[in-house]
Amino acid sequence: MKGILLLIVSLFLFAIIYKPIQVHPAQSSGLPLTILLYTLATALPIIGILLVIKKFRCFPGADKWQLSHELVLLLTILVAIGISVYFAGFFIEEPKMRWNLSTFFDSMLRSLLVAFIPLFLPTVTNIRYALTPETFFQYPVSKQDEMPAEDMAQEISIISKAKREELHFQIHELIYAESQGNYVTFYFEDNRKPNRVVIRNTISDVAAQLAPYTSLMRVHRAFIVNLKQVRSKTGNRLGYRLKLNSCSSEIPVSRNNTAQFDVRMQTMRRSVHQ
């Protein structure tokens, strides 16, 4: 919602400064108020489109960003803004002589002139990340006998509020945890039995319980990984894919978490070599 509010404010300020061709105030209000009313009229379709996309997951997540998806979303929002501006004109200005194609296309053109630059700026940033070449980095393997004694003895307890379940394990045993709706699956080293445990809880609640442990990080909305189990990473600032010990699957790191992941891995590696 904050992003939508920022977009609406940006559209208003840009329209005030830019003043597209032949934009004029309505008869009952000045130019700033006219532009404000038109800007507010665009809020509902933008909110509606984004809510539909979020609910039905029309596009992949940020870690799988694609230019084609971004351009389709941009075009959809621009068309929705143009249509809303056209119909808002019936209430903001004199409604006579507006029900025609020339007025409709004029509304679409002016909406494009005002909204294109503010909407396209985030896409430019994403393109810069997408064009960054992928890199591969391999981390030194952490052998069990090289781990600090406190890691070997540190026990973690995860409490499930729903069924009063408790899960106990040593911190070095955990490889990663994955969200599956209202359940979280914990994957452990092969020498721990059982090495796969499911408890009824949300990933957010589990992440909050694991927050004191710096070697455990929520790298994605659905994944928490043990950083000491990471073997390698592939990708760029748009997102990473991790290979973990005793794990055949690749774990995604979302774009918003890549910087923090790098910092925490560097910090952990420095502490090991001190």
What is the SS3 assignment for 171?
helix
* Bridge partners for 155 per DSSP: 170
Tokens of 110: 């002016």
Q: How confident is the model at residue 135 (pLDDT cuts 50, 70, 90)?
A: confident
> 2-6, 100-104, 173-177: which has the minimum mean pLDDT?
2-6
- Contact criterion met (CB below 8 Å) for 219 and 225: yes
| Percent of the chain topping pLDDT 90 | 32
- Tell me which architecture the domain covering 135-273 has in CATH: Beta Barrel (2.40)
- Contact criterion met (CB below 8 Å) for 254 and 63: yes
**Does pLDDT of 179 surpass 90?**
yes
pTM of the model: 0.59
**Does pLDDT of 86 surpass 60?**
yes
More confident residue, 46 or 239: 239
Which pLDDT value is given to residue 60?
A: 58
Average pLDDT value for residue range 102-127? 83
Q: Which long-range contacts (CB under 8 A, 24 or more apart) does 135-139 make?
A: 135/234, 135/235, 135/236, 136/232, 136/233, 136/234, 137/232, 137/233, 138/231, 138/232, 139/230, 139/231, 139/232, 139/233, 139/265, 139/269
On average, the pLDDT of the chain sits at 81
Tokens of 56: 């039905």
Helix ranges restricted to H, the chain: 2-18, 31-41, 43-56, 67-92, 101-130, 149-153, 203-210, 258-273
- Residue from 228, 263, 264 nearest 246 by CA: 228
- Residue from 240, 245, 243 nearest 260 by CA: 240
Domain with CATH 2.40.50.1020 in the chain: 135-273
CA distance 107 to 84: 9
Which pLDDT value is given to residue 145?
A: 44
CA distances, 233 to each of 170, 227, 244, 255, 273 (Å): 25, 11, 9, 13, 20
Tokens 């694609």 appear where?
Answer: 66
Highest mean pLDDT among 43-57, 96-110, 132-146, 201-215: 201-215
CA distance 225 to 261: 10
pLDDT for 49-75, tens place per residue?
Answer: 878 877 776 665 555 567 777 888 888
Which pLDDT value is given to residue 173?
A: 93
CA distance 163 to 255: 34
C-alpha count within 13 angstroms, C-beta hemisphere, residue 90 = 8
CA distance 174 to 197: 11
Contacts of 202 (CB under 8 A, 6+ apart): 179, 182, 184
CA distance 111 to 106: 9
* Bridge partners for 218 per DSSP: 224
> 2-16, 234-248, 256-270: which has the minimum mean pLDDT?
2-16
